[in-house]
Amino acid sequence: MEKTQKEHQITVSVSPHIKSEETTSRIMWSVSASLLPAAAMGVYFFGPKAALNLALCIISALLSEYAFQKMLNRKITVNDGSAFLTGLLLGMNLPASVPVYIPIIGSFVAIMITKQLFGGLGFNVFNPALIGRAFLLISFPKLMTIWTEPTAAFVRLDAKTTATPLGILKEEGVSKLMEVFGDKINLYTQLFVGHRAGSIGETSVIALLLGAAFLLYRGYISWEIPVSFLGTAALLAWVFGTKGALFAGDPLVHLLSGGMVLGAFFMATDYVTCPSIKKGQILFGIGCGFLTMLIRLKGGYPEGVMFAILIMNCFSPLIDRGFRTKVFGARKLATAKEIKK
């Protein structure tokens, strides 16, 4: 009898009952690995200065997290890869020409203020790397908008400054863009490969897409946000992309320029700051695409990806609340009016 009772014992445990081998650390390091091809292309095009800025961002992010947690006697979590990823993303969003103190300040703001002061990983409202970049853009607008030619760092010591494709398109129009790149085929090719001015990690679309394909294959990100983000931006670029004419814009130029691909696949999909419900993620992506193109076409800045994602981060909790599934079998509480009846 005693043996039978032991065989039928039930183990009771708290949720979650369905578990995965994936851990936060494994996901963070995998995402960082997926960004390495784009980071390597940035170093190839912009030279040792780009490598230095990337390294400074990563080291500063790790030290900021360690110092904050050490001061407050909290568990040290630098090994989970989240601070490394934040530093890498921030570095990829910086021009190669910025002075060495810029990455240090940006990493401090991203980790200590945006992440740790809110409670650490999982509690931050905004994407830490984008807040770091936004702070730097507002505080040092001139330094953050000086762009260098892709091969200048390898050809001469004094890098030659130039405008980004989005900057040329914003200020001088598509005709000037064609004059700079020659023809549309060459323009698309250079944008796709990454041989153009811009931030360190945003220029090579092909390298970013390789990393994104890896994340999609492993299931670390889903298609809802990137597809709705890029699809909305492409549609608006086609309809309103040319001044004075509808349905005459060039969606490819906007999709391949600036931080569109980097933002859609690697920053808007951040687990903490985007909606968790699939339908909500589609709405989130549409909002990002709409705001990006609104800023690009009508705003003062030639680029709008960073601001679009940060603004939509504010609405993530509301989007999740609006699309949350109804509990099966739940009973609706009667109102005071119904009770009187």
* H runs (alpha helix) in the chain: 2-7, 24-46, 48-71, 82-92, 101-108, 128-139, 152-155, 165-172, 174-181, 184-193, 205-218, 224-240, 251-256, 260-262, 278-298, 305-323, 336-340
**Mean local confidence (pLDDT), 276-305:** 95
Q: What is the pLDDT of residue 329?
A: 60
Residue with tokens 């030619």: 149
pLDDT at 5 > cutoff 70:
no
pLDDT at 45 > cutoff 70:
yes
Closest of 157, 153, 113 to residue 132, by C-alpha: 113
The radius of gyration of the chain's CA atoms, rounded to the nearest angstrom, is 23
**Does the domain made of 24-323 have the CATH classification 1.10.3430?**
yes
Q: Annotate 167-177 with b (16+ C-beta within 10 A) or e (fewer).
A: bbbbeeebeeb
Q: What is the pLDDT of residue 335?
A: 59
Distance CA 133, CA 110 (A): 8
Could you tell me which residue, 143 or 241, shows the higher pLDDT?
143
Q: What is the pLDDT of residue 213?
A: 97
pLDDT at 306 > cutoff 60:
yes
* Amino acid identity at 156: R
Give, as one character, the DSSP assignment of residue 127. Answer: -
Could you tell me which residue, 176 or 107, shows the higher pLDDT?
107
Q: What is the pLDDT of residue 174?
A: 86
Percent of the chain with pLDDT over 90: 72
Could you tell me which residue, 3 or 117, shows the higher pLDDT?
117
Distance CA 317, CA 307 (A): 18
Q: How confident is the prediction for the chain on average, in pLDDT?
A: 89
Could you tell me which residue, 309 or 339, shows the higher pLDDT?
309
The domain segmentation of the chain, as residue ranges, is: 24-323
DSSP reduced 3-state for 154: helix
Distance CA 75, CA 121 (A): 12
Q: How confident is the model at residue 103 (pLDDT cuts 50, 70, 90)?
A: very high
Q: What is the pLDDT of residue 156?
A: 46
Closest of 97, 83, 86, 85 to residue 53, by C-alpha: 97
Q: How confident is the model at residue 22 (pLDDT cuts 50, 70, 90)?
A: confident
Tens of pLDDT, residues 190-243 = 999 998 999 999 999 999 999 999 999 999 999 999 999 999 999 999 999 887
Q: How confident is the model at residue 155 (pLDDT cuts 50, 70, 90)?
A: very low
